[in-house]
Chains A and B, each alone.
Chain A
């Protein structure tokens, strides 16, 4: 029996979290959009505490998302917020901004810190840099290829987390780009907000259904949404590494992340089940492990036909 890697997901609500736990996720990243970025739903501190109470007895871990780009105003509230989430019993804090690391030294001593700056987490030596300053886990950039991911695991003393399924963020602006575009089209000042796609969506939820297309790429739909943190543009394909998960399991990758953003609960549940099955099968008998086509078929059955399942950057060479 091999050590099982963690299967990590996000969730938009407590109900969904319970459902995904049932499907086989054994860790969750949750939080509030003021501190965390691109969360499928907001978990106020009380709900984080509830999530922890649900998770602890089941051996499930709850990580607090504090990986936003933080401004002065938010930093002022950081010690109080961090104290609350530590009291709530979170198992780790996910950070990107060094201000979180600074605050954690006094407000969250002893709580593991996961460094996740998304596209800028690109090499093992930088992982070690953050490790020397207290990080316990390194979340690899989705733009790395397999060789780079495996070398990072081999060279780093930190836990390595890799996204294996779902869309990825490809552009984050502080500008409200959709609102600006609608304003530009309407030219006037009055009717803007009523015409805004997504108008009336409550805070902490995401308006789904908006996407961008580019003339030379007629089959690719890039989801775009706006929230209090600005504008987010997402990949046109969904990463899906289930066929090749053994490559990552053999290397001892510590955590596999499923991105649940902009997907139905049913889809996410199916994806989590599939990866759970693969991880369990590998752990039970690494040498006899074989990929089971039905895992992928279950995902394909629910896959949006306009979105390709892809290997992301795992088998690509990029130039610069």
Chain B
């Protein structure tokens, strides 16, 4: 991972606005954990008009519950309605947007201008954010969307920090940027590989990630590199700006967006937790801010691809792609979530999320300071019967923790070095 130690913007400090930390939530449980672990806002998908047709998308009822939960933390819920609609998708749009408004959704993230305009007309309480699928790269296009009544633009992932600074200097509108997670290597929305390879429409949620396949490059009928060499790919490393949070804040990015509506609960909680601590620490005392190694280590525990800084500092080069084998699983796995803790006995009830057993090293973490490792001692079911292993998904397991824990703290275990 590229390390940028020197801050990019070192001018005289103006008063800084606290950025929003915006997290993905593939389902209601992920929403709750994302909010609990420190997201100021979450974005979800509904039953229609979103780009993750395979995700576990929200019903209106689930949205309402999510909004109520988020409200208690002062957090907001956004819905991605980011497809490029085809004619037949237009019927039902008004009802759907109206339903989102009724469910208490704060904003939609839209790419197709007809979805933006329809929302303004039929669901005026919904804010409309311009999706990264619009590939907005310049201040004048941002000005256009502002003039059209959009309070926020999610920039193209191709915009550099300097370009973002220029956009902020020219237009008074909220700017959201992806700061962590998987990236399209194309301009977002400008890729129909899926349509051509598999008849799946990428701009309506059917993307089959052909950019991560391997290809042979030919020049005039001759394969440019031999069979035993790495094949060509468009696949990119994942974005990680954790080391560069001060630059993002200084440049005035209003919302820090984490990618990953398809990612696991453990991933979302871990990543949110790391950025939450970095942002809060910087905002509390910018002059004495120090990046903590443990935040980076935490990120690595959930990362399933190598990381880089995208286009923020320069155009990605050879080192920013994943040639050769892809997708190593993250080194740690989610083992359980704390349901309750009894201070008098030091016993916690932990809901099993993956197998664990006595003798294994685990670590606990949580948004309110929980952070320790221990070896699993005796475990029992709720009836008090001793178990040799926690094998059953969602089974409540009673075990002693070496330090106090809180509900919604997580327990993870190392699965490979």
Contact partner of B200 (CB less than 8 A), chosen from A144, A170, A320, is A320
Which stretch from B23-31, B108-116, B284-292, B328-336 is at the chain A interface? Answer: B108-116
Interface presence of A173 (CB below 8 A): yes
Residues A123 and B201 in contact, CB atoms below 8 Å apart: no
Q: List 30 A-B contacts (CB under 8 A).
A: A69-B135, A75-B141, A78-B140, A98-B140, A98-B145, A102-B141, A119-B191, A120-B84, A120-B203, A123-B87, A123-B112, A129-B113, A129-B117, A143-B201, A148-B87, A173-B234, A176-B315, A177-B234, A180-B318, A209-B219, A212-B216, A215-B214, A222-B215, A224-B217, A230-B187, A235-B196, A317-B199, A318-B199, A318-B201, A320-B53
Chain B residues proximal to chain A, CB less than 8 Å: 53, 84-90, 111-114, 117, 133, 135, 137-141, 143-145, 156, 158-159, 163, 166-167, 185-187, 189-193, 195-197, 199-206, 211, 213-220, 224-225, 229-230, 232-234, 236, 311, 315-321, 323
Contact partner of A120 (CB less than 8 A), chosen from B143, B158, B190, B199, is B190
Interface presence of A286 (CB below 8 A): no
Interface presence of A205 (CB below 8 A): no
**For the complex, what is the distance from the CA of A118 to the CA of B186, rounded to whole Å?**
14
A308: min CB distance to chain B, Å: 12
Which stretch from A10-18, A42-50, A53-61, A181-189 is at the chain B interface? Answer: A181-189
Interface presence of A219 (CB below 8 A): no
Main secondary structure of the interface of A (DSSP, over half): mixed
How many A-B Cβ pairs are below 8 Å?
Answer: 212
B309: min CB distance to chain A, Å: 14
Across the A-B interface, the 4 shortest Cβ-Cβ residue pairs: A320-B206, A99-B140, A98-B144, A183-B318
**For the complex, what is the distance from the CA of A5 to the CA of B293, rounded to whole Å?**
65
Sorting the interface of chain A by its residue count into under 10, 10 to 19, 20 to 34 or 35 or more gives 35 or more
**For the complex, what is the distance from the CA of A120 to the CA of B185, rounded to whole Å?**
17
Chain A residues contacting B163 (CB-CB under 8 Å) are 71-72
Residues B145 and A214 in contact, CB atoms below 8 Å apart: no
Residues B203 and A119 in contact, CB atoms below 8 Å apart: yes
**For the complex, what is the distance from the CA of A129 to the CA of B145, rounded to whole Å?**
13
**Closest Cβ neighbor of A37 among chain B residues:** B190
Contact partner of B166 (CB less than 8 A), chosen from A72, A184, A221, is A72
Instruction: Bits for A185-214, please: 1 = Cβ < 8 Å to B, else 0.
Output: 100000000000100000000000111111
Known pairs A123-B86, A125-B114; A181 contacts B141 (CB<8 A): no
Residues A185 and B225 in contact, CB atoms below 8 Å apart: yes
**Closest Cβ neighbor of B185 among chain A residues:** A173
Contact partner of A101 (CB less than 8 A), chosen from B53, B144, B193, is B144
Residues A197 and B224 in contact, CB atoms below 8 Å apart: yes
Known pairs A170-B195, A172-B190, A180-B321; A98 contacts B84 (CB<8 A): no
13 extra interface residue pairs, beta carbon distance < 8 Å, beyond A124-B87, A320-B206: A97-B138, A98-B140, A119-B190, A123-B86, A123-B114, A126-B85, A174-B158, A178-B217, A181-B232, A212-B232, A213-B218, A214-B215, A215-B214
**For the complex, what is the distance from the CA of A316 to the CA of B201, rounded to whole Å?**
11
Known pairs A129-B114, A172-B187, A320-B204; A123 contacts B85 (CB<8 A): yes
Instruction: Bits for A98-137, please: 1 = Cβ < 8 Å to B, else 0.
Output: 1101110000000000000011101111101110000000
Chain A residues contacting B167 (CB-CB under 8 Å) are 72
**Closest Cβ neighbor of A195 among chain B residues:** B224
Chain A residues contacting B89 (CB-CB under 8 Å) are 123
Known pairs A174-B315, A221-B218; A119 contacts B140 (CB<8 A): no
**Closest Cβ neighbor of B145 among chain A residues:** A98
Chain A residues contacting B230 (CB-CB under 8 Å) are 184-185
**For the complex, what is the distance from the CA of A97 to the CA of B138, rounded to whole Å?**
9
A93: min CB distance to chain B, Å: 15
Known pairs A181-B318, A235-B196; A126 contacts B113 (CB<8 A): yes
**For the complex, what is the distance from the CA of A214 to the CA of B139, rounded to whole Å?**
39
A31: min CB distance to chain B, Å: 18
Known pairs A97-B141, A99-B141, A184-B321; A171 contacts B191 (CB<8 A): yes
Interface presence of A151 (CB below 8 A): yes
Residues B217 and A212 in contact, CB atoms below 8 Å apart: yes
**Closest Cβ neighbor of B117 among chain A residues:** A129
Chain A residues contacting B86 (CB-CB under 8 Å) are 122-123, 144, 148
**For the complex, what is the distance from the CA of A224 to the CA of B234, rounded to whole Å?**
11
B127: min CB distance to chain A, Å: 19
Chain B residues contacting A144 (CB-CB under 8 Å) are 86
A317: min CB distance to chain B, Å: 8
Residues A180 and B316 in contact, CB atoms below 8 Å apart: yes
B233: min CB distance to chain A, Å: 8
Chain A residues contacting B187 (CB-CB under 8 Å) are 69, 172-174, 230
Instruction: Bits for A66-95, please: 1 = Cβ < 8 Å to B, else 0.
Output: 000111101100100000000000000000
